[in-house]
Amino acid sequence: MTEQEQRPIKKVGIFKCGNIGTSPLLELLLDELADRQDIKVRTVTTGSKMGLEDVEEALPKIFEFNPDLFIVISPNTALPGPAKAREAISNSKRPGVVISDSPGKRAKADIEKQGLGYIIITGDPMIGARKEFLDAVEMALFNSNVSKVLAVSGVYRIVHQEIDKVIYALEAGQTPILPRLVVDLPFIRDNSELNNPYARAKAMAAYALAEKLAEVNVQACFMEKESEKYVYLVACAHEIAQTAAKLAEEAREIEKYNDTLVRKPHAKSGKTKTKSRLMQPPTFPEEVG
Amino acid sequence: MTEQEQRPIKKVGIFKCGNIGTSPLLELLLDELADRQDIKVRTVTTGSKMGLEDVEEALPKIFEFNPDLFIVISPNTALPGPAKAREAISNSKRPGVVISDSPGKRAKADIEKQGLGYIIITGDPMIGARKEFLDAVEMALFNSNVSKVLAVSGVYRIVHQEIDKVIYALEAGQTPILPRLVVDLPFIRDNSELNNPYARAKAMAAYALAEKLAEVNVQACFMEKESEKYVYLVACAHEIAQTAAKLAEEAREIEKYNDTLVRKPHAKSGKTKTKSRLMQPPTFPEEVG
Amino acid sequence: MTEQEQRPIKKVGIFKCGNIGTSPLLELLLDELADRQDIKVRTVTTGSKMGLEDVEEALPKIFEFNPDLFIVISPNTALPGPAKAREAISNSKRPGVVISDSPGKRAKADIEKQGLGYIIITGDPMIGARKEFLDAVEMALFNSNVSKVLAVSGVYRIVHQEIDKVIYALEAGQTPILPRLVVDLPFIRDNSELNNPYARAKAMAAYALAEKLAEVNVQACFMEKESEKYVYLVACAHEIAQTAAKLAEEAREIEKYNDTLVRKPHAKSGKTKTKSRLMQPPTFPEEVG
Amino acid sequence: MTEQEQRPIKKVGIFKCGNIGTSPLLELLLDELADRQDIKVRTVTTGSKMGLEDVEEALPKIFEFNPDLFIVISPNTALPGPAKAREAISNSKRPGVVISDSPGKRAKADIEKQGLGYIIITGDPMIGARKEFLDAVEMALFNSNVSKVLAVSGVYRIVHQEIDKVIYALEAGQTPILPRLVVDLPFIRDNSELNNPYARAKAMAAYALAEKLAEVNVQACFMEKESEKYVYLVACAHEIAQTAAKLAEEAREIEKYNDTLVRKPHAKSGKTKTKSRLMQPPTFPEEVG
Amino acid sequence: MTEQEQRPIKKVGIFKCGNIGTSPLLELLLDELADRQDIKVRTVTTGSKMGLEDVEEALPKIFEFNPDLFIVISPNTALPGPAKAREAISNSKRPGVVISDSPGKRAKADIEKQGLGYIIITGDPMIGARKEFLDAVEMALFNSNVSKVLAVSGVYRIVHQEIDKVIYALEAGQTPILPRLVVDLPFIRDNSELNNPYARAKAMAAYALAEKLAEVNVQACFMEKESEKYVYLVACAHEIAQTAAKLAEEAREIEKYNDTLVRKPHAKSGKTKTKSRLMQPPTFPEEVG
Amino acid sequence: MTEQEQRPIKKVGIFKCGNIGTSPLLELLLDELADRQDIKVRTVTTGSKMGLEDVEEALPKIFEFNPDLFIVISPNTALPGPAKAREAISNSKRPGVVISDSPGKRAKADIEKQGLGYIIITGDPMIGARKEFLDAVEMALFNSNVSKVLAVSGVYRIVHQEIDKVIYALEAGQTPILPRLVVDLPFIRDNSELNNPYARAKAMAAYALAEKLAEVNVQACFMEKESEKYVYLVACAHEIAQTAAKLAEEAREIEKYNDTLVRKPHAKSGKTKTKSRLMQPPTFPEEVG
């Protein structure tokens, strides 16, 4: 890996097939100010489809970018399409991290065997994919709501910090320790950046709602056969999503009301600075001590 | 174009550099149920960065997918990176559509000269990209809020319908008429699917807010030099985004309260069905008449 | 049972031990206007405690009222205290109905063997009974919130209608058919009186939230041992309760906005009238046809 | 009273006839965690009815429990039914406390002559008992809303603390000093546990609303004769109840936002502990000093 | 009055001393579009003060405008300042209308003796005029909230319609019948333009709240002497005002949700047109028939 | 001006023609408690009309009050009516201050030449003056909403403080320095009294919304000719006003939640005291030091 160590800029290759709530903004989470000088990000996606054929056609492109680190994100990583992507990344011998939703838990052993890392997000819920209900606008609103929950409850922070850690290790010429995390309600509780305990409880509640709505959508999409029954269920699930987003927003508002909202922007170096009072500048953690 | 006519499935190649509110979900808007059988979508992105170098490295991959239709989406399409992408697509002689935000208006004449279509979205606002304020979580929340505004005010519908029209023309073996639209407040008003007039007025208000916050962020990011001044401005702009999202949500709720919410899911054929009462099935428009 | 048939007024004897969300208002649901002339209600309770000893001391009093119909309501009816009450009622040979929460499902076979009816309410959630969190005020607020969810989602209607049916049968000198219901999310969906489909979806969502918070509270009260962990969980659960109540309220507001809210007051005869427009009088269902 | 002094556990006998907002949860307020070892609570109720006959039939049962302390709670304690209960308790020579609503003020002199204590709650409002409006569900929602107001404005705390004081005196073998309180707006102001002054003002406002709606309901139920007139009034009154509940909730949220919410759980000994920061344990007041 | 009859344009002279919620916008209510060709409005005010001296100095100016109709608006019209104005108007023999708040009821007999009309608005509440609480900003917010309540509950409509009627009579050369109205809760109920019955109930509730807060402010400003006591009361009263405004707004939103909001703009002729669906033009009532 | 210096009480003469959001409460802002002993305020208005004729008829009356200080407030002070008033005041050689909205900016040079002061308020927006939309009630609600924005964002404070400064100078026998202010978004930011930075950002957002809606209303009232187009625009603008009011209210609530709300009541002397904790008394600034 000598060659890589000498390369000053690490390249992150993201492969997305199908969509979960963490997918659309994933590459932006790594470089939200677009001025990070230690990484380049390249993404290839197959859109909402995640069939084996789609993956097989699109996957080679991400390898052609020759990334230092692979990320593959998809619903249920145990399905053939995402599984194919994992296999190819594993074979590349480059470090790779799998990000998936609750059904992806089934593939944990597999992923470990493949030498990859994983972040399984139990509160990244399945959408209400029923043609009587879901159109482009409803889909977008669901993603908007879920995204708010994932942002406030800390999932997006966890995701970028875990990827950042791998990048920092690569930059230091070390073999990265890949994440192996199931991000469930207790994990959310223990890793929240919200200072007010009720804000934390509200963010947890939002996350718990996301878990619940996933259950309702699974019921609606895979088990109920009559539209009179499943349409109510998907509508119910998307109402929960909307409510969860409001609750998440309220949690964050509490921190704003107290001017204790933690922000961790990426510096140009790629490291994150931290701040909590709005009118104070962000600093590197070591600067504080 | 004989060969293309014979290809049963059209391929849409999307190139994203940098990010606007319409970017993250763009490919999903075209195939929200992941079962459309007339198209394949492939996307290549350079993440939040949109420098010329990034574009030059990543752009070839999207051509390698050999798409029937190109879409390039970015902030201010007049900047060198996006301009490069437009040029390459123009040179390919394949149909191409440019999607950009308000500053992109400057490139309209250029785009027309290049033979490309465009959708300029005046209410897709610049983010508050100041390091004292923006971190990954704040960025995600801004996108969540903007996305809600764009979804409810009709922008996402306009976008996928315009792309769909091009696809349908290609499928019919016709030379597509490419869109040339500036999606501003009057356009939103005249193309709204909201039935209740107050719902429409609220959605318009949400869109107008997005336009206003864009102005504030431009002031904050490019003109104010002191952090004591610009931090308040970006914070103000993101508050407007949050408020706009609530207003958009309320507009949609009105339609739900009246059970008149229009949904237009894509059928497997790629055509859209329509419905407005939740418990009735979607139908093709012609079926109604 | 000749004597009973001749008695013009039926007496309902309610025994409450411990508390679930349906308990506090149970007798009021049967005679909300206090002018029903076909029944008398007598209740004996042991307060929040439901130990065997408490039940054994208090239970005889309800028999001394010589009721025509028994109702026993408690958390987890499989526990010794409530089980004792069921046994005694079963032995009395008078009709009896058991009302309990989700853990009560375990006792279904038992209850059937005892010849009793049951209404198991999966969305009547356990409270966050941790001393660091729960005091009298928090307890009251939780009950207020849960009560709102149960009222709007239709549980209270189901409960009084099922009891009413038994009473009507007794009044008619018939052997009543006792209810055997598990009131879960699909049941709520299929028995909602809300006309607007989104109102129904929101009420279902509120109910689903009540189910979820029950899970969180079980985790918090029985599994987590450290207060740093369980306090967040009970706080989270009560936030869900608060949110669920708001969602339920919103569901009902939709019906008010449309002036379609169904009301079913008890007439003096004990039968229920029905109405939906506020400024129209309630009528007996047969009057409408 | 020697025998009673030696009994380690005091028994509280509660008699409820008719219903006010403080009734449904009364016994739960005394032992919210169901683990208090110094008292037993037994309740007998006549449901929503409070006629003389009902009281005469049910009242003896509460005496048969042989309580150390009686509580009788009802609307307007001056009416024949509740008056009967007071008389009987007075005759028993055991300590007794009357809890009633605003019209109960008329009976103050009487109650004092009877040697009983009283807590008159001016903000515990009459329900909108008109058949065109009130059904079981509307009744439950009204109780839910009123309960929230009474909980947050401090009424429930006042009630259980006053009863607790009597119990503690009995436990200490002392003759208890019975409460003689009219809980009106100034009393609420002077006894609030809310720390933020605006939270206190909001809770007071909620209480004032409850007082006002009581007036409107009295007008609607006893004075207006035409349904076109009184239906609007009861609907108006219940809207005030709903609004009052939201205001109360907001008052409490302020304390949560500041993490200053006071909690006073009952310890097993029956004494109350106190805490205000969520993540700190409750302590006995003396422990703090 | 021959000369007046011939004058094509009637002049309305408004004298304001002190301020009630109906004062600030009074002249604007008569000519909201500033294009009414049948009237001119002239106003003279003494600001927030209403002492006898202020009135005596300012009052002559309004007479110098030589109006065809006088309106005098003030708090408690029985006080010396406003009484002086009434007396002078009465002496002028021109028609005059007194607008005042609840304490003004005392002057009803007087006003009738003076040959003047009156509109007493029981829900136009006294402000919380305590120096520890009220500053210019708080005063403005109170007026904003009260104004919203008065607008939605129908008071402003009643006021301008009553004045309009007098003007129309003068224009027709008739002796106008002057209004003698106490605008209380039943009057509000019976004159509401809100179509949805729950909207009407909510607007009534808002009005009832305004009545209640008036009581609290009277208590706070005239009876409580200690600032620890009255500051909470005025703060409580202003919270009620804020809540009442929200409730009023919600009432109006319901009409918007149903597109049934009644609008009655003044035509240039001074007559009012009517409309209820937003996208339909307003018409004169006779045009409809 | 010797005579004036000796007059203990200064008289402020306000002339209003037409209406902006700052007009209706202007005189009340100067003496909100009606007990200020250093000034008298007299106002003359022409109602909603502001034509030259109206001004010419009414204007002399304000001079007859012989004020020490003139204020003229109107929409667009460059129009003939308001211009006339400015001219007359300028000619009087007494100090005068012009208050106007954004279009008034055009007259800045003129006003300076006239020796007058000005306060131009860019966020005091034009109303949606279209007969299909605006009636008395809609007008009142718009004013209510705008007033809330102006109060919370600091405009009303700025206005009365600027006028106060002139008055204090006159009282001290000095030649006052007249204000020359354009109150735009940066001015609002730099002069906010809100302590919490997010509260300030929200208040700024509310102000920015008021600016935006002004643009929309100008478009609707002066440029669009078809009612199908402009009705949506005025409805949109008034929705923005409503939303802006909510946002302003929320900003103020944050200060209440933190008990840091600044209040600056006028003392009897005319000077302002200051306080921020609700239960502490206001003091003169010097007292604090």
Reported as a single tens digit per residue, the pLDDT across A94-147 is: 999 999 999 999 999 999 999 999 999 999 999 999 999 999 999 999 999 999
| Burial D216-243, CB ≥16 within 10 A → b, else e | bbbbbbeebeeeeebbbbbbbbbbbbbb
Which residue ranges of chain E lie beneath pLDDT 70? 1-7, 287-289
Q: Which tokens in the block code for residue F38?
A: 């250093």
Tell me, what's the pLDDT at B4?
47
pLDDT in tens, F35-76: 999 999 999 999 999 999 999 999 999 999 999 999 999 999
User: For strand B69-73 and strand C180-183, is the pairing parallel, antiparallel, or unpaired?
Assistant: unpaired
Give the chain C residue whose CA is nearest to the CA of B255: C198
Q: Name B12's bridge partners.
A: B41, B69
D73 by Cβ neighbours in 10 Å (0-12 / 13-18 / 19+) ranks as buried
C278 touches E: beta carbon within 8 Å: yes
Tell me, what's the pLDDT at C289?
41
What are the DSSP E strand ranges found in chain C? 10-16, 39-45, 69-73, 96-101, 117-121, 180-183
pTM: 0.97
For A38, C85, C87, D74, the CA distances from C56, given in Å and listed in that order, are: 73, 8, 11, 27
Cβ–Cβ < 8 Å for D99, D29: no
Query: How many Å is the Cα radius of gyration of chain D?
Result: 19
Residue of C19, C122, C115 lying closest to C70 (CA atoms): C115
CA dist C19 and D28 (Å) reads: 8
CA dist C91 and F209 (Å) reads: 72
Tell me, what's the pLDDT at A3?
47
Cβ–Cβ < 8 Å for D140, C25: yes
Which of B32, B64, B145 is nearest residue A48 as measured by Cβ atoms?
B32
Give residue D8's pLDDT band: very low, low, confident or very high (50, 70, 90): confident
pLDDT in tens, A37-58: 999 999 999 999 999 999 999 9
DSSP class of residue B283 equals: B
**Which of D22, D46, D48, D162 is the best substitution to test chain C (most C C-beta atoms within 10 A)?**
D48
Query: How many Å is the Cα radius of gyration of chain A?
Result: 19
Tell me, what's the pLDDT at C6?
53
pLDDT in tens, D224-234: 999 999 999 99
Is pLDDT of A187 > 60?
Answer: yes
Chains with at least 3 CB pairs less than 8 angstroms from chain C: A, B, D, E
In this prediction, residues F220-228 reach a mean pLDDT of 96
Which of D257, D278, D279 is nearest residue A257 as measured by Cβ atoms?
D257
Q: Which residue in this structure is represented by tokens 């344990």?
A: D281
- Cα three-residue angle B67-B73-B78, rounded to 5 degrees: 120
F197 with A258: Cβ contact below 8 A = no
Tell me, what's the pLDDT at E4?
47
Tell me, what's the pLDDT at A84?
98
CA dist F270 and F4 (Å) reads: 17
Tell me, what's the pLDDT at C4?
47
Q: Which residue in this structure is represented by tokens 């709670």?
A: D73
C185 with A216: Cβ contact below 8 A = yes
- Cα three-residue angle E217-E219-E222, rounded to 5 degrees: 95
CA dist D81 and D85 (Å) reads: 7
Chains C, F in contact: 3+ Cβ pairs under 8 A? no
Tell me, what's the pLDDT at F8?
79
Torsion angles phi and psi, residue C116, rounded to 5: -100, 160
Residue of F132, F122, F128, F114 lying closest to F155 (CA atoms): F122
CA dist E24 and A233 (Å) reads: 52
Taking chain E, what is the end-to-end CA distance rounded to the nearest angstrom? 36
Tell me, what's the pLDDT at B50?
97
E258 with C256: Cβ contact below 8 A = no
Nearest-neighbour CA in chain D from A170: distance (Å) = 39
E258 touches B: beta carbon within 8 Å: yes
Q: Which residue in this structure is represented by tokens 């941790």?
A: C130
Residue of B8, B4, B13 lying closest to B163 (CA atoms): B13
Torsion angles phi and psi, residue B110, rounded to 5: -50, -50
Which of F 140-169 lie inside 8 A of E, CB atoms? 140-141, 143-145, 147-148, 150-152, 156-157, 160
Is pLDDT of F29 > 50?
Answer: yes
Q: Which tokens in the block code for residue B276?
A: 């407005």
Which of E197, E208, E232 is nearest residue D216 as measured by Cβ atoms?
E208
Which residues of chain E make contact with C258, given a CB cutoff of 8 A? Answer: 258
Chains with at least 3 CB pairs less than 8 angstroms from chain B: A, C, E, F
Cβ–Cβ < 8 Å for F131, F113: no
Mean pLDDT over the full length of chain A: 96
D275 touches C: beta carbon within 8 Å: yes
Torsion angles phi and psi, residue C272, rounded to 5: -100, 135
- Cα three-residue angle D258-C244-E206, rounded to 5 degrees: 75
C128 touches D: beta carbon within 8 Å: no
Report the percentage of chain D scoring pLDDT > 70.
Answer: 96
Q: Which tokens in the block code for residue E166?
A: 């007098």
| Burial C61-75, CB ≥16 within 10 A → b, else e | bbbebebbbbbbbbb
pLDDT in tens, D77-111: 999 999 999 999 999 999 999 999 999 999 999 99
Q: Name A274's bridge partners.
A: A283
Cβ–Cβ < 8 Å for D40, C54: yes
Which residues of chain D make contact with A257, given a CB cutoff of 8 A? Answer: 257
For C274, the 3-state DSSP assignment is strand
Chains B, D in contact: 3+ Cβ pairs under 8 A? no
User: For strand B96-101 and strand C117-121, is the pairing parallel, antiparallel, or unpaired?
Assistant: unpaired
Cβ–Cβ < 8 Å for A153, A194: no
pLDDT in tens, C94-149: 999 999 999 999 999 999 999 999 999 999 999 999 999 999 999 999 999 999 99
What are the DSSP E strand ranges found in chain A? 10-16, 39-45, 69-73, 96-101, 117-121, 180-183
As a three-state string, the secondary structure of A172-224 is CCCCCCCCEEEECHHHHHHCCCCCCHHHHHHHHHHHHHHHHHHHHHHHHHHHC
Report the percentage of chain F scoring pLDDT > 90.
Answer: 96
Tell me, what's the pLDDT at C193?
98
Which of E 32-91 lie inside 8 A of B, CB atoms? none
E137 touches F: beta carbon within 8 Å: yes
Give residue C8's pLDDT band: very low, low, confident or very high (50, 70, 90): confident
Is pLDDT of A2 > 80?
Answer: no
Which residue ranges of chain B lie beneath pLDDT 50? 1-5, 288-289
- E11 C-beta neighbours (distance < 10 Å), count: 18
- Cα three-residue angle E102-E176-E37, rounded to 5 degrees: 100
CA dist E264 and E273 (Å) reads: 5
Give the chain F residue whose CA is nearest to the CA of A261: F198
**Which of F256, F275, F276, F280 is the best substitution to test chain D (most D C-beta atoms within 10 A)?**
F256
Cβ–Cβ < 8 Å for F140, E29: yes
Nearest-neighbour CA in chain A from C19: distance (Å) = 24
- What ipTM was reported for this prediction? 0.96
Helix residue spans in chain E (DSSP H): 2-6, 26-29, 52-64, 80-92, 108-113, 136-153, 155-171, 185-190, 197-218, 227-257, 285-288
Q: Which tokens in the block code for residue B50?
A: 């949109």
Tell me, what's the pLDDT at D176?
97
Give residue A7's pLDDT band: very low, low, confident or very high (50, 70, 90): low
F175 by Cβ neighbours in 10 Å (0-12 / 13-18 / 19+) ranks as exposed
Which of F198, F208, F243 is nearest residue B216 as measured by Cβ atoms?
F208
- Cα three-residue angle B139-B141-B142, rounded to 5 degrees: 65
Cβ–Cβ < 8 Å for F4, F52: no
Q: Which amino acid is at D92?
A: S
Is pLDDT of A59 > 70?
Answer: yes
Tell me, what's the pLDDT at C7?
56
Nearest-neighbour CA in chain C from A61: distance (Å) = 43
Q: Name E74's bridge partners.
A: none
Cβ–Cβ < 8 Å for A192, A252: no
Nearest-neighbour CA in chain A from C223: distance (Å) = 12
Cβ–Cβ < 8 Å for D47, C65: no
Q: How many helices (H) and strands (E) does chain D have?
A: 11, 6
